[in-house]
Amino acid sequence: MYNLDVEHIREKLREAGLKATNQRIAVYGALEALGHASVDSIVPIVREGLPVITVAAVYNILEMMADAGLIGRVLSSGKMMYDITPCYHDHLLVDGGREVIDLDDPEIHETVERYFSSKKIDGFRVRGARIYVDVERMINF
């Protein structure tokens, strides 16, 4: 079982404008423990404390949290993953997306901003960019 800081999670949910139910606390706590995870990875962890929760309930809670800006979404190899870090940042998709790692390098965003400002694409303004880099883990490196 993972450790839940229930008061911390309650506060996060309230700040996002969400009611702090036991199910929401458990789902957020599981994602917090995993960092990046699919519904399929989160459900067994949540069921340790809430054995009757359905996959649909976990999915709906995650979508509600993402819509509220509390968590982020990451599309990895055609599968929706959820990210405990909701702000714009980049990711390494390791070995076809089996693992997702945060990539926090301001130089990437500066390069993207310079590129788009030099191209002057009429009618559009860049609000942000999320970059996913597909990488392969090197053995014996």
CA atoms within 13 A on the CB side of 101: 12
Strands 132-135 and 90-94: parallel
81 and 37 Cβ atoms separated by less than 8 Å: yes
88 and 130 Cβ atoms separated by less than 8 Å: yes
Question: In this structure, what is the dihedral angle of CA atoms 110, 111, 112, 117, given to the nearest 10 degrees?
Answer: 90
Phi and psi torsions of 27, nearest 5° = -65, -45
Measured distance CA(75)–CA(132) in Å, rounded: 9
90 is in an annotated binding site: yes
> What residues form the annotated binding site?
90
> What residues form the annotated binding site for Fe cation?
90
